[in-house]
Amino acid sequence: MENIKIKKKIFVRRVKKDDWKYFRKWWQDTDLITLTSGDFTKYRDEQLYKWFLNMFVDKKSMNFIVLNEQKIVIGHFVLEIKKNIAEYHVVIGNKKYIGRGYGTLINKKAIDIGFKKYKLNKIFLKVRPENLRASKSYEKVGFKKIAQRKYKNPNSPELIIMEIKK
Ligand SMILES: CC(C)(COP(=O)(O)OP(=O)(O)OC[C@H]1O[C@@H](n2cnc3c(N)ncnc32)[C@H](O)[C@@H]1OP(=O)(O)O)[C@@H](O)C(=O)NCCC(=O)NCCS
């Protein structure tokens, strides 16, 4: 049989209230929690839903849903903007799409939106030192490591800070 290779593409749109079904799943996925917040507290749906709804209240938090070339929802990214600087978070919540090159495309898109649409001067992120796949995907689009530190919160792990300037 002919091996047809589909060209990877992503589409992004702002988060809608109807997207709760995705976040509800992703925010309770232990694999994803290990790589992101590391917070394994069993939060009730009501608490998670409150955080989800806050996305629509916080006008400085630009949340996007990512879809692939087949228009399947694969993940989420956010630019949390303070003046001309934003903190970037990304999660491919639909785990079968991890490690296939989509993250690099998402990072590129987030940078493009951040610098062009929101006129940012700088985008930074925090990543766990052991999350080599994520770090590599950030390096590939131009993020540079600037520091590694432990935050005041005793539960916070050691984190690498990376940034990209306009
Ligand atoms: C982080 C994330 C968005 C990256 O997206 P992705 O689609 O998996 O990444 P990509 O496939 O585009 O790129 C990963 C790169 O890391 C490389 N890589 C994978 N595992 C690696 C490892 N253990 N060590 C070093 N490099 C590794 C891949 O080979 C690839 O590089 P290449 O394209 O040059 O071959 C995605 O993995 C994800 O959502 N993970 C779960 C949540 C998470 O970790 N979020 C980030 C928190 S800071």
The reply to whether ligand 1 has any atom less than 6 angstroms from the CB of 157 is no
88-139, pLDDT tens digit by residue? 999 999 999 999 999 999 999 999 999 999 999 999 999 999 999 999 999 9
Nearest CA to ligand 1 atom 26: 133
pTM over cut 0.75: yes
Alpha carbon of 4 to ligand 1 centroid (Å): 24
Distance 133 CA to ligand 1 centre (A): 3
Check: CB of residue 144 under 8 Å from CB of residue 156: no
Residue with tokens 């590391």: 38
CATH class of 10-121: alpha beta
Q: Across the beta sheet with 73-82, what order do the strands follow?
A: 10-14, 61-68, 73-82, 85-91, 122-127, 158-165, 144-150
Residue ranges per domain, the chain?
10-121
CB distance 37 to ligand 1 below 6 Å: no
Shortest-distance Cα residue to atom 27 of ligand 1: 133
95-104, pLDDT tens digit by residue? 999 999 999 9
